[in-house]
Amino acid sequence: MRTNRRWFRIGLILLVLPLVFVLYAMANGDGDRKETKYRWDIVHISSFSPVTANQGGFASALANDGSKITVTGHGTFEPQEPDEVTGGGTWTTFAPDGTTVTGTGTYRVQQLVRFNVAPGVQTAGLVDNIPGAIGDLTDQRAGLLFVKIAYSDGSKGVLVVSCHLNGGPDFVTRPAAPASIFEGITASKDYADYWNRLPPIGAPTPVDGNRTLFHILSQDENRDRE
């Protein structure tokens, strides 16, 4: 009887121990898989005093011949999961004269190509009305995003969203992003590359347009830094 009990205990340990290991590994695995999630926006500035950021803005870029693409949009992505993307927006293309519309429609994001988060923080006092934003600006990020997109007319391309955060007014505590980071978008549409981004117009008479934002929606940000 004693022998039986001993074998029962050994058997139990042999059965339960691997199970404990597996459960432990699974729990850790889930922790690792907790992905960082970001939201990108082409923002609409509804007021410049105070600066108030909303979703639903537009941004433009020029091709070599002066033809133009203007896009709106927002979406989400996870740097470690290229297919975990949402979002899209609208597009309009213009002839080199700047006014003749050559095409218009919607686009959707198909895949993340690459994202690099950059240093820098937002200017204090900005009012952040982007859905999902915390509002205290600590969730805003500068960075550079490449996504594959599909246009509603059947063409495909790559959308580049770049966000430069201006920092300040105390630049010691609130440093700006490196000046090498551009603010705006570029896009390709089949073989046409609208590479020449239009910059946002700032002081003294700021104009809405060509502004972008990234928000971090969930964590593990360190994995996305390089």
- One DSSP character per residue, 89-150 reads EEEEEE-TTSSSEEEEEEEEEEEEEEEEEES--PPTT-EE--TT--SSSTTEEEEEEEEEEE
Site for another protein in 5-34 (CB under 8 A): none
Per CB under 8 A, does 44 bind another protein? Answer: no
Fill in the DSSP letter of residue 219: S
Number of residues that bind another protein (CB under 8 A): 36
- What's the Cα-to-Cα distance from 31 to each of 36, 49, 55, 73, 218, rounded to whole Å? 12, 42, 31, 31, 13
Tokens of 108: 């959707």
Per CB under 8 A, does 221 bind another protein? Answer: no
Per CB under 8 A, does 210 bind another protein? Answer: no
Per CB under 8 A, does 110 bind another protein? Answer: no
Number of neighbouring beta carbons within 10 Å of residue 195: 13
Per CB under 8 A, does 122 bind another protein? Answer: no
| Nearer CB in complex with another protein: 35/193 | 193
| Nearer CB in complex with another protein: 136/190 | 190
Task: Point out which residues bind another protein (CB under 8 A).
Answer: 63-65, 67, 113-114, 116-118, 142-144, 146, 148, 156-158, 160, 162, 164, 178-183, 186, 188, 190-193, 195-197, 226
